[in-house]
Structure 1
Amino acid sequence: MGGKLNSSFTDASTNWVGNFLDDEVDGRFTPAEGRQYLQNLSDQAVGTGRFRYANFTQMVMSADMNQQDARAYVNNYTDAVSLDMYWYTIPFCSNVPFRQNYILPITQENCRTASSYGTTMKALRQQDATDGKLQAPWQFVELLNGGPGEGPFTANVSADQLKGAVMASVINEARGIVYFNQSLSGPCQGGSLIRQAQTTSGFCGADQVRAASEVNNQIKSLAPVLNTQSYQYSFGSGLDTMLKSYNGDAYVFAMIDGKSSPGSRTFRLPSEFSASSVEVVGENRSIPVSGGVFTDGFANESSYHIYRVKL
């Protein structure tokens, strides 16, 4: 995806599947200039057979940008769209006073949590839906940190936080995950973190790269489930969930929401379900169901569970 890797690439190259129009145009141009610039790039990609993709800054989900411009950026030029906001590792969540300026509220108490990545995806989908046509929303997640090179350094994302950010995005209908593969600040820096983890023994970002591989493999193994239509259903308070059905089983992807703290959660299954237990996928355990209800724990804000329920 992007430009030609070398002179051997042609429009018929089967490994060249998408056109990357540009990155963060909304932060580098005036709205009028940025829209015209993207229109020109989008027009050049028409008829190539490749999908068009662009990434934006968090401004497209912010009330600070004129909403007509924000929605035009998201809707008018692409087939797949993302934005980057690295909640775990940039200073924003620690700012005093804290300024809530997003179209979907994020509180300072729960700002630096996986739920904020889910809210980001929800906000992007809300902007995308305003023209009545849906495209593929993608999510950026930092492999180590998203802080600027000039500082200040805030933190590196932990392995569990990285996996939670990815799953919160998937639960909120992300159709793709893009990893920020650089670290420009802090004690562990690099311009190609995945490659460094592969080639450098004891690399300081190895745990995070390994976590990305683990959650990627988990998502791949569940691709037949994830590629089905989701159902609208509320399992209970304090939860962020996604419900799927595949091959005679229901699947419930679950995390805590962005308004509460870790701990125990109670799930009420749809009345059509008659299962006496649920399997916790990948955790080698099951939970009994009584009266259509089961309970499970979420030890941390980034914890997630996937339940399989026989139909």
Structure 2
Amino acid sequence: MTEKPVLRHPEKARKPDNPSPRKPAWIRVKAPTSEEAAEVRRLMRQKNLHTVCEEAACPNIGECWKHRHATFMILGDTCTRACAFCNVKTGRPGAVDVAEPENLADSVTAMGLRHVVITSVDRDDLADGGAFQFVACIERIRATSPHCTIEVLTPDFRDKGDAVEKVTAARPDVFNHNLETVPRLYPGIRPGARYFESLRLLQRVKQADSSIFTKSGIMVGLGEERGEVLQVMDDMRSAGVDFITIGQYLQPTLKHVAVSRFVTPDEFEDYRAVARSKGFLMVAATPLTRSSHHADRDFEELRAERLRRQG
């Protein structure tokens, strides 16, 4: 008897298909077929680690893994929320892996990373939303790879007390939390979150430690208007956000929200120029931009620029 396939999103199986427009010529990606990518995959399996590259079906996985760079996703591979854009599976998460910080630190060393990005699923089932695991991972990497800079991309830790302050006190070099879209679209795109609570999170990081760079990103092509995107930029700057990423939303499956339209490269260049004029220290705005895509390169370029100015 043939077993039924296990669905990543059983709650979406009952939803109708949402076909997107045909991808334009400027959306071109390569599959992760290099030997370097195979090595990264083997290491992740060996260390029982997850990456957002795989779980979220990132279009840049081939490029990043070829250069032996991956975004680690801690606290398991199952999210307690079900955002309309996200490919990470939803359900009841398992127990937290106590060996994860050690395995993650070992992988950072094995891959020779100079900059590591750590994200996680939402863990609303945990008392502090999983903040303790972010802290443990940061501390272990600091101990084993002291020259590696650390970027965290956290959930909103909604209603979890001082979770944000706990992670901030561990002093990551970059604290990232994505707003994802404009506030008008939150009910349909990010129903488990609140726009101004996410904005306040970024502000709290700056208030707790102004030396930490803060970062946030949004997707476009979901039905937002240009004026709304510019308002999000202003909101970010008012909260002290240093880095911004803007990328095209790509539909992971037909059960996810459809692409409203494909934003042109010229429009992305316009967003990049406007964001620069508003004072962001780092701006990444292209169709294939993602939160951690080229995060190592961008951070290194920023540090080099600051050294040149100081010199």
Q: Which structure features the higher share of strand residues?
A: 1
Higher-Rg structure is 1
Q: Which has the higher contact order (CA 8 A, sep 6+)?
A: 2
With the length of structure 2 as denominator, give the TM-score of the two structures. Answer: 0.38
Q: Which structure features the higher share of helix residues?
A: 2
With the length of structure 1 as denominator, give the TM-score of the two structures. Answer: 0.38
